Amino acid sequence: MEFKIGDRKIGLNEQPFCIAEVGINHNGDIKRAINMVKVAKESGADAVKFQTFSAEEFCGEDQKFTYKSQGKTITEPVLEMFKRYEFTKKQWFEIKKECDRQSIIFMSTPQNRTDLDLLLEIGIPAIKVGSDDLTNTPLIQSYSKEKLPLILSSGMSDLAEVYNSVNIAGGFDNNHVALLLCTSQYPTLPEEVNLARLNTLKNALPGIVIGFSDHTRGSLASSLAVTLGASILEKHFTLDHNLPGPDHWFSEDSDGLKEWVRSIRLSYIMQGSPVVRPTSSEAKNKIEYQRRLVAACDIKADDLFSENNITLRRVTGGHGFPPNFIDYLIGRPSPKNYHKDQPIEL
């Protein structure tokens, strides 16, 4: 089922919808966040996405997280880390204002219902649910009541869990739901991408828009995903790989983000039409490149055509019968005189 995010149509017959994912790569710095909106716009992405949360509402006090940053291995309390990345309500409005100024769609993943309420007040055209909440069915059910397009990431889940969440979101009851293939490993190794699952999801979820949340490095995986039917794609980016934080080192920089979007657009164009026939360029080349029947020697009127006096050559302008007419001509009398290399035309 096709639907819109803002003014942008989403579906197999539309250009892929590209989401430049800031996530927490702003490091809690509003100026950096504003700058990242500009970079996302310059990349050609359709939307820029953040994550909206109150750390104390979703992080356990004693949970710790180990990650790579600036060439080091860091272990710290999850609550402490996420508190550094919180924005105030005023700051979220500033970010949305910059998105409007740049004419790029503002999106953000809420962690809780209170976060969604804030985002609804700011103004969002769709709701994104991260892989960590795909099985949080009470939250999905609450979000689905807003009747906005709901985009679900499917990392860490099996097909039964995916189907159940799409069903609870109303995806089989004409609600606008999209399901993104995702591997929740950062970065994702090639052998864990499993793009073949896109076909599984399309077959298991008829009518549901399918996409790809890309945690690999580079643009190849997303380009391939487009050819397998992914209509929505998202990718983390950073302004500097050397900034402190868990996601900077594997995220795309500004040049990488541009290349990612460019490759997706090109992959979509390259799919072309499923109808097998010459392209407009080939139609012109066909006239010049494919061989035609010509006289192998001088032929007089009423001479019988034979394999000895007709042959195949490329002919300027494509004049003469095509090769499959040779059986028709063999044994028939020539209607006129032909000189050597003259196209055979009756």
Domains (range + CATH), the chain: 8-271 (3.20.20.70), 280-329 (no CATH)
Query: What are the tens digits of pLDDT across the range 25-60?
Result: 999 999 999 999 999 999 999 999 999 999 999 898
Residues 137, 163 contacting (CB under 8 angstroms): no
Residues 332, 297 contacting (CB under 8 angstroms): no
Query: What are the tens digits of pLDDT across the range 289-328?
Result: 999 999 999 999 999 999 999 999 999 999 999 999 999 9
Q: What is the pLDDT of residue 84?
A: 96
Q: What is the pLDDT of residue 259?
A: 98
DSSP state of 47: E
Query: What are the tens digits of pLDDT across the range 246-267?
Result: 999 999 999 999 999 999 999 9
- How far apart, in whole angstroms, are the C-alpha atoms of residue 202 and residue 181? 11
Position 242 confidence tier, pLDDT thresholds 50, 70, 90: very high
Query: What are the tens digits of pLDDT across the range 149-174?
Result: 999 999 999 999 999 999 999 999 99
3-state SS assignment for residue 150: strand
Please identify which residue in the block is written with the tokens 């032909």.
Answer: 338
Residue 68 pLDDT more than 80? yes
Provide the token pair at 246. Answer: 């868990």
Q: What is the pLDDT of residue 199?
A: 98
Nearest to 12 by CA among 228, 278, 287: 228
Nearest to 25 by CA among 69, 65, 59: 69
pTM: 0.93
Residues 41, 33 contacting (CB under 8 angstroms): no
Exposed/middle/buried for 301, CB within 10 Å: 0-12, 13-18, 19+? Answer: exposed
Provide the token pair at 169. Answer: 């979101």
Residue 61 pLDDT more than 90? no
Query: What are the tens digits of pLDDT across the range 184-225?
Result: 999 999 999 999 999 999 999 999 999 999 999 999 999 999
Nearest to 29 by CA among 81, 87, 79: 87
Phi/psi at 221 (nearest 5 deg)?
-60, -45
Residues 167, 192 contacting (CB under 8 angstroms): no
Q: What is the pLDDT of residue 256?
A: 98
197: how many CB neighbours lie within 10 A of its CB? 19
Query: What are the tens digits of pLDDT across the range 77-116?
Result: 999 999 999 999 999 999 999 999 999 999 999 999 999 9
Nearest to 231 by CA among 174, 176, 158, 188: 176
Would you say the C-alpha torsion 263, 234, 195, 203 has a positive or negative sign? negative
Q: What are 310's strand-pairing partners?
A: 295
- How far apart, in whole angstroms, are the C-alpha atoms of residue 40 and residue 300? 73
Composition of the chain by helix, strand, coil, percent to 5: 35, 20, 40
Provide the token pair at 332. Answer: 């028939």
Q: Is the peptide bond before 187 cis (omega within 30 degrees of 0)?
A: yes
Residues 245, 28 contacting (CB under 8 angstroms): no
Which region holds residue 340: left if phi is over 0, alpha if psi is between -120 and 50, else beta? beta
- Structural element, H or E, at residue 224: helix 220-227
Provide the token pair at 27. Answer: 């490091």
Nearest to 329 by CA among 315, 339, 343: 343
Q: What is the pLDDT of residue 346?
A: 81
Q: What is the pLDDT of residue 1?
A: 76
Q: What is the pLDDT of residue 60?
A: 85
How does strand 3-5 pair with strand 72-77?
unpaired
Q: What is the pLDDT of residue 276?
A: 97
